């Protein structure tokens, strides 16, 4: 009977092959000003290599047939029959291990083009910077608590809305004090954390279920997950001052943008430390607090054994200039481990003044959740002078090797490397290679003669950039790019910064940034979005820097003082006279890797030059396959759909997980530089895909949370 239903569905689709290409309906909840900026969806499907029916393809077909049977085909114009299990999203990346995967199956590659906007919520927390405050970037990923979505805004307000309607339920406003950051930094809050008491009796009490948020004012705040009221028993009136023990730091030098991480009864977090201002930057200490009282349980100061440098400044608890943890953490409660991606010891582009603080830079650390003690560390870049710090969240999954299940951790890097580690020990599961690199940068530096490279998953970013590789829309701009590539030094990915200027490829944003990787455990696929663009780093002697009449940065050109070193640093993108990257496209990509073999399954352009290049260049053949700069992450569904925003061209996209084919895209009012999330409340509910549409430092600011779903009955 089920198979007959599936055949009827297939027959019905064959009678109307254009059924999935009908226009989407714009929901009435979109305000007129936003609706006028949205375009209807388009569908651009291309075939890429790797689209044949594989073992995973047969799995996808099975899931499709099952979902068709349960849903009564699910393809009628007048609605979709709900089916399938409840799919939750209680953590920033779905689960505490960061897989960015939902077991929901209602939305499939076959019906994704029927998605419509179910609701939109606008917070009003938006600034373009013209009012004297820093511009906002709404990059949050909501959590699902029961039937409520909870998220933070760039003004650090925490908001709860009905998950299926978008109706506001409560708002907590800490009243942000720090409203101005140094350019090009924008005000950001990427997410919040959720904790609930183990006992039913405690969960039923006030603040037995808590939302934790960390702010630009360097506070850790706990609020009741059901009411939004501050938990008075946590710290002082619900707040803990994260600047306690940290002295001699301007407010804009030390603050939080990423969500805390709860592990058992501890809430752990690091902080953003302003880069490249001075060698005695604020400490990058990572701390754990009691989830109930706010009492500090532990701290991990990234000071290696045998350190003989300066002690903490008078009155401070921690050593200045240590590696920090600004990005997203993950945890394994059964192992009592919290996993920390680390930044660099100060400063980024000159190592000789770090005085031995490099050991934990550009690494992933495993700390004991209950004590903060270091269990293991694995360093991806040794003596980092490129700002190749670890931006990606460590992602936990079960990895099968020769019939044995290994608790694994996938750590992506800005270089486009993905290391697979045993998360119990930090040892590479498949080993790694050591490659020889140049060490002749500037006098006084002692750089590492080798760097680690993964051996199982081959590097996803090319290390080749020659004058003949230069891109151009015309012969003239291609020639200019070739001349620029020849002008600066480039000896591969780890070319040291020099006085004459060195090419950095990829640039210091990656590669792979905080969007991290997504893992489909059923298909055993890993997905990641990345950039492939080059920049130039040039060290400027101190006397030349001091003589400059204008020492401000003018984005995207940056001038960074690095006080306490013999040099300042000048950074700028390697661009053509038309403003296009000189490196070969695609400049943005979405990549899939087979976790059984380590082989790349597909690698497709992500985004287009729309909204970045002048309109005439949109007419160049292939303009929509050049890829785009991107920041944000992807998610995967059990039915074989990969969703992602992230790009500069203001589209939300869906890709077929098996083939990499782009199967849906939707024009948004602003860029969606946040990781989406997806949920389904129960067998009678719709599956929703929700994304923050709020811009980035390099794009216009917005304040919309948009939920997509298939049409209701």
- 212-244, pLDDT tens digit by residue? 999 999 999 999 999 999 999 999 999 999 999
CB 618 within 8 A of CB 559: no
3-state secondary structure of 571: strand
pLDDT band at 561 (very low <50, low <70, confident <90, very high): very high
Instruction: List all residues 6 or more positions away from 689 whose beta carbon is below 8 Å from its beta carbon.
Output: 107, 115, 635, 643, 676, 677, 678, 707, 708, 709
Better-predicted residue by pLDDT, 42 or 616: 616
Burial of 205 (0-12, 13-18, 19+ CB in 10 A): exposed
pLDDT in tens, 274-302: 999 999 999 999 999 999 999 999 999 99
The answer, yes or no, to whether residue 69 has pLDDT greater than 70, is no
Residue 553: the pLDDT is 81
**Can you give the residue ranges of every domain in the chain?**
1-136+629-713
Residue 614: the pLDDT is 72
- Of 394, 391, 661, 632, nearest in space to 529 by CA: 632
CB atoms within 10 A of CB 130: 7
CB 152 within 8 A of CB 159: yes
CB 430 within 8 A of CB 598: yes
Distance CA 490, CA 488 (A): 6
Among 217, 332, 387, 656, which one carries the catalytic annotation?
Answer: 387
Kindly report the backbone phi and psi dihedral angles of residue 291, in degrees, each rounded to the nearest multiple of 5, phi listed first.
-65, -25
Across 347-375, average pLDDT: 98
| Token pair in block for residue 104 | 């929901």
What separation in angstroms does the CA of 360 have from each of 4, 369, 389?
Answer: 59, 18, 10
CB atoms within 10 A of CB 22: 12
Residue 618: the pLDDT is 67
Residue 184: the pLDDT is 84
pLDDT band at 622 (very low <50, low <70, confident <90, very high): confident
pLDDT band at 120 (very low <50, low <70, confident <90, very high): very high
The answer, yes or no, to whether residue 81 has pLDDT greater than 60, is no
The answer, yes or no, to whether residue 147 has pLDDT greater than 90, is yes
Report the DSSP beta bridge partners of residue 363: 379
| Token pair in block for residue 480 | 């200019």
Distance CA 87, CA 67 (A): 15
Residue 611: the pLDDT is 84
Distance CA 352, CA 444 (A): 6
The answer, yes or no, to whether residue 519 has pLDDT greater than 70, is yes
Distance CA 614, CA 616 (A): 6
The answer, yes or no, to whether residue 247 has pLDDT greater than 80, is yes
The answer, yes or no, to whether residue 43 has pLDDT greater than 80, is no
| Token pair in block for residue 610 | 């729309």
Question: Across the chain, what does the average pLDDT equal?
Answer: 89
Residue 621: the pLDDT is 77
Residue 14: the pLDDT is 35
Q: Where are the alpha helices (DSSP H) in 420-509?
A: 475-487
> Is 387 tagged catalytic?
yes
CB atoms within 10 A of CB 68: 24
- Of 677, 713, 704, 643, nearest in space to 87 by CA: 677
The continuous run of DSSP H or E covering 3 comes out as: helix 2-15
Better-predicted residue by pLDDT, 183 or 380: 380
CB atoms within 10 A of CB 373: 11
| Sheet architecture: strand order including 677-679 | 116-122, 704-709, 688-693, 677-679
pLDDT band at 68 (very low <50, low <70, confident <90, very high): very low
Q: Where are the beta strands (DSSP E) in 423-556?
A: 432-436, 450-454, 502-504, 517-520, 525-531, 535-541
Kindly report the backbone phi and psi dihedral angles of residue 255, in degrees, each rounded to the nearest multiple of 5, phi listed first.
-165, 175
Residue 556: the pLDDT is 82
The answer, yes or no, to whether residue 8 has pLDDT greater than 90, is no
Instruction: List all residues 6 or more positions away from 189 whose beta carbon is below 8 Å from its beta carbon.
Output: 139, 140, 152, 153, 154, 156, 213, 215, 216, 257
The answer, yes or no, to whether residue 17 has pLDDT greater than 50, is no
What separation in angstroms does the CA of 394 have from each of 21, 45, 267, 333, 407?
Answer: 38, 32, 17, 15, 13
pLDDT in tens, 598-621: 999 999 999 998 888 776 776 777
pLDDT in tens, 453-493: 999 999 999 999 999 999 999 999 999 999 999 999 999 99
CA pseudo-torsion sign 299, 300, 302, 308:
positive
CA pseudo-torsion sign 359, 362, 366, 369:
positive
Distance CA 181, CA 185 (A): 6
Distance CA 11, CA 168 (A): 43
Instruction: List all residues 6 or more positions away from 652 whose beta carbon is below 8 Å from its beta carbon.
Output: 643, 644, 645, 665, 666, 668, 672, 676, 691, 708
The answer, yes or no, to whether residue 57 has pLDDT greater than 50, is no
- The CA-to-CA distance between both ends of the chain, in Å, stands at 24
Distance CA 610, CA 590 (A): 18
CB 210 within 8 A of CB 223: yes
- Of 469, 470, 418, nearest in space to 598 by CA: 418
- What is the pTM assigned to this prediction? 0.89
Distance CA 394, CA 329 (A): 7
Residue 152: the pLDDT is 99
Distance CA 527, CA 594 (A): 9
- Of 342, 229, 224, nearest in space to 283 by CA: 342
Residue 581: the pLDDT is 97
């Amino acid at each position: 009977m089920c198979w007959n239903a599936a055949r009827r569905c297939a027959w019905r689709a064959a009678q109307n092959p254009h059924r999935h290409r009908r226009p989407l309906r714009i929901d009435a909840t979109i305000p007129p000003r936003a609706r006028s900026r949205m375009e209807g969806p388009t569908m651009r499907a291309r075939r890429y290599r790797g689209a044949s029916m594989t073992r995973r393809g047969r799995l996808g077909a099975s899931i499709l047939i099952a979902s068709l049977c349960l849903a009564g085909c699910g393809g009628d114009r007048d609605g979709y029959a709900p089916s399938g299990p409840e799919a939750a999203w209680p953590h920033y990346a779905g689960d505490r291990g960061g897989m960015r995967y939902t077991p929901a199956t209602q939305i499939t590659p076959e019906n994704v083009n029927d998605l419509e906007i179910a609701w939109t919520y606008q917070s009003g927390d938006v600034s373009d910077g013209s009012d004297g405050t820093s511009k906002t970037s709404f990059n949050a990923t909501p959590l699902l608590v029961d039937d409520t979505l909870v998220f933070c805004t760039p003004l650090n307000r925490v908001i709860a809305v009905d998950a299926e309607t978008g109706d506001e339920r409560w708002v907590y406003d800490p009243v942000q004090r720090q409203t101005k950051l140094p350019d090009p930094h924008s005000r950001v809050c990427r997410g919040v954390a959720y904790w609930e008491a183990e006992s039913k009796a405690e969960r039923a009490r006030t603040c037995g279920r808590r939302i934790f948020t960390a702010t630009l004012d360097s506070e850790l705040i706990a609020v009741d997950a059901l009411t939004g009221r501050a938990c008075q028993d946590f710290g002082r009136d619900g707040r803990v001052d994260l600047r306690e023990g940290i002295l001699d730091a301007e407010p804009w030098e030390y603050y939080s943008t990423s969500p805390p991480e709860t592990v058992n009864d501890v809430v752990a977090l690091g902080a953003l430390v302003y880069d490249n201002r001075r060698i005695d930057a604020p400490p990058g200490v990572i701390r754990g607090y009691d989830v109930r009282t706010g009492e500090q349980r532990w701290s991990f100061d990234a000071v290696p054994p045998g350190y003989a440098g300066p002690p903490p400044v008078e009155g401070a608890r921690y050593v200045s200039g240590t590696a920090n943890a600004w990005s997203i953490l993950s945890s394994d409660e059964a192992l009592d481990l919290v996993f920390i991606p680390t930044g660099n010891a100060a400063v980024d582009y000159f190592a000789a003044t770090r005085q031995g603080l490099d050991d934990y830079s550009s690494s992933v650390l495993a700390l004991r959740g209950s004590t903060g003690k270091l269990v293991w560390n694995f360093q991806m870049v040794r003596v980092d002078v490129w700002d190749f710090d670890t931006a990606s969240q460590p992602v936990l999954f079960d990895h099968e090797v020769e019939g044995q299940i290994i608790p694994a951790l996938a750590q992506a890097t800005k270089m486009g490397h993905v290391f697979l580690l045993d998360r119990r020990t930090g040892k590479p599961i498949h080993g790694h290679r050591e490659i020889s690199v140049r060490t002749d940068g500037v006098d006084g530096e002692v750089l590492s003669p080798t760097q680690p490279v993964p051996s199982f998953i081959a590097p996803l970013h090319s290390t080749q950039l020659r004058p003949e590789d230069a891109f151009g829309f015309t012969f003239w701009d291609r020639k200019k790019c070739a001349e620029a590539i020849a002008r600066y030094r480039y000896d591969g990915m780890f070319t040291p910064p020099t006085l004459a200027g060195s090419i950095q490829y990829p640039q210091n944003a990656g590669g792979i940034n905080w969007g991290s990787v997504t893992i489909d455990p059923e298909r055993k696929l890993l997905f990641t979005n990345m950039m492939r663009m080059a920049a130039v780093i040039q060290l400027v002697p101190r006397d030349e820097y001091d003589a400059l009449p204008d020492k401000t940065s003018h984005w995207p050109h940056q001038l960074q003082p690095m006080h306490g070193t013999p040099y300042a640093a000048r950074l700028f993108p390697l661009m053509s006279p038309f403003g296009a990257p000189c490196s070969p496209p695609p400049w943005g990509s979405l990549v899939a890797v087979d976790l059984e073999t380590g082989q790349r399954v597909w690698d497709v352009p992500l985004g287009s030059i729309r909204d970045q290049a002048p309109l005439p260049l949109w007419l160049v053949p292939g303009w929509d396959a050049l890829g785009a700069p991107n920041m944000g992450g992807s998610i995967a569904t059990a039915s074989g759909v990969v969703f992602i925003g992230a790009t500069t061209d203001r589209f939300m996209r869906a890709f077929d997980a098996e083939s990499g084919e782009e199967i849906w895209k939707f024009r948004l009012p602003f860029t969606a530089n946040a990781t989406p999330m997806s949920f389904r409340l129960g067998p009678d509910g719709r599956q929703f895909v929700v994304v923050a549409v709020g811009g980035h430092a390099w794009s216009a600011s917005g304040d919309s949370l948009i939920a997509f779903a298939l049409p209701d009955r």
